[in-house]
Amino acid sequence: MEPPGTEHQTARHDAGRLKGAVIINVVAYGGGTNSTAMLIGMYHKNIPIDLILFADPGGEQPHTYAYLPVMNNWLAQHGLPESRSSPIRTRTGTG
């Protein structure tokens, strides 16, 4: 029996080995309460996080943008990757 909290890592490792593929966990981070809680929960459950993306529509509330460095600091302190901002573009290439 697996120790609590390690079943996700084992399943991830086995899936990659069995299929011959590299499995990564990409998290969509919105900067709000729910996605912050999700990241913290994933950390506490030892669910690996390989990439964190913040899709930036350019119209978030100022406090959302102000919180991103705070969360990135927490992520770095806990050995997790910083979130990467990805601006959203329309078909015409404008924001």
Mean pLDDT, the chain, as a whole number? 83
Catalogue the E-assigned strands of 1-95: 26-28, 51-56, 83-87
- Where helices occur in 45-94 by DSSP H, the ranges are 62-77
Residue 55 is assigned to a structural domain of this protein: yes
Quote the domain boundaries for residue 43.
Answer: 23-87
Q: Which residues of 35-61 are buried (b: 16+ CB within 10 A; e: fewer)?
A: bbeebeebbeeebebeebebebeeebe
Answer yes or no: is pLDDT of 14 > 80.
no
Residue 95 is assigned to a structural domain of this protein: no
pLDDT band of residue 1 (cuts 50, 70, 90) is: very low
For the chain, the domain total comes to: 1
What are the beta bridge partners of residue 28?
Answer: 53
Residue 9 is assigned to a structural domain of this protein: no
Residue 40 is assigned to a structural domain of this protein: yes
> For the residues 63-72, what does the mean pLDDT come to?
95
- Residue found under tokens 């996605």: 35
Higher pLDDT, 92 or 86: 86
